[in-house]
Structure 1
Amino acid sequence: MAMLKSCLLLFIIFSMGNTEVTITRDVNGLDGLDVDLARRCPDTWIKSGLRCYKFFSHPAKWITAERNCQRLGANLASVRKKQENDFLLSLLPSSTPTWVGAHDAIVSSNVCPTLNGHWMWSDGTVFSYSHWCAGEPNSNPHGYYSCVEISYSSNRCWNDIGCFYSKPYICVKELRDRHADPQLL
């Protein structure tokens, strides 16, 4: 009967589609069956941790790039730590300025100058890490530099720039729901 349950469980798991299965024995080496499920990234996406990434070389304006990502169940990439920034840079052809999901919450410094420079991520991730180039963000006098490109200059750092420029972009999708697992924030 245990074998039948195990086979049924495996059948259900494999029929779910986008999963990887690891079968292990319990810590005591007993005949128990422990199944660990981990979702896979879609084809052509690259997995790192609990996220899937895809670089799109076809240039688009920032808002178009974000909408393109959303159509794929993703957002423009957010960066939470140095290792993630380094990973994103590894996806790019060298020195290719590329959109990520950071944007200034206040578009024009003329509207509310004290709030200009309040950076956010399009996927709702807390903006707690940055890798700005020297002198950045500099939000030009008219407040038009409201989006972020990575891999700017030979230093491969971040630059704030007008969202109306067309650039390649990186999308990211979570393998697990961030709201269900607060450690993913």
Structure 2
Amino acid sequence: MKCESNLTETLSKIKPCSTVQPTCPGPKVINDPCYKCEEGWEQHGGKCYYFSIRKSSWEQSRDECRAKGGDLVKIDSREEQSFLERKLRDVMTEAEDKFWIGLTDSAVEGRWVWVDGSPLNERLQFWSGIDPDNWKGHNGEHPDGEDCVRMGEKGGADDLKCWFDAFCSKPHRSICEKAAVKGQIKNVCD
């Protein structure tokens, strides 16, 4: 049974997909085929996403995601990038209103690594324009350059290319991710 919520559906609207048997010989637990996310998280492709409205540094954003049981988002497919790009397009209020993702080259300059330790796949990257350019600021006030990645393009991105390297200390909103869980329903008869 396929159970994909569309973007506007809230968790409360996902619940009806739970199959409750009309005849019921007594309390029993049945496996619910639907992926579940807790309130405030959005389900897509078996993952749960949390779009934080709090603006904080990349490290603080990551700490907040981990405190919620997830981590900053890792983008594993073009389809996932497409989902996120469309979603951000709708929630960004200005061009600079971008979101941190779980990608950084702070350990070794130019070697981009996801928060789970895996290297960035050369065939699956969505840099915008000349980025990453490791800009050091107008007067070189950021000698380490731009080591963290934010994404989003208010008007929509050409070919989904909307990743930008940025100073990790800059406050931005962020996208957290964790695995969705398949629920169980206890069927109790009247």
Higher alpha-carbon Rg:
1
Which is bigger in relative contact order (C-alpha 8 A, separation at least 6)? 2
Q: 2:43 corresponds to which residue?
A: 47
Say whether residues 1:175 and 2:176 are aligned partners: no
Q: 1:151 corresponds to which residue?
A: 152
CA contact (8 A) 1:97 1:150 kept: yes
Offset of residue 127 of structure 1? 2.1
In structure 1, stretches of 5+ residues that fail to align are: 1-19, 25-33, 107-114, 177-185
Q: 2:105 corresponds to which residue?
A: 104
RMSD across aligned positions (CA): 2.7
From 50, 62, 65, the equivalent of 1:66 is 62
Change (3 A) 1:162 1:153: farther
Q: 1:119 corresponds to which residue?
A: 112
CA contact (8 A) 1:60 1:165 kept: yes
Offset of residue 51 of structure 1? 0.7
Partner amino acid for 2:179? Answer: E
C-alpha separation between the residues in 1 aligned to 2:46 and 2:105?
A: 26
TM superposition score normalised by structure 2: 0.64
From 75, 79, 85, the equivalent of 1:83 is 79
TM superposition score normalised by structure 1: 0.66
C-alpha separation between the residues in 1 aligned to 2:113 and 2:34?
A: 29
Change (3 A) 1:40 1:146: same
Offset of residue 105 of structure 1? 4.3
State the secondary structure of the residue aligned to 1:65: helix
C-alpha separation between the residues in 1 aligned to 2:51 and 2:64?
A: 12
From 138, 143, 148, the equivalent of 2:133 is 138
CA contact (8 A) 1:51 1:174 kept: yes
CA contact (8 A) 2:106 2:148 kept: no
Change (3 A) 1:58 1:35: closer
In structure 2, stretches of 5+ residues that fail to align are: 1-16, 22-29, 137-142, 182-190
Change (3 A) 1:72 1:35: closer
Offset of residue 45 of structure 1? 0.6
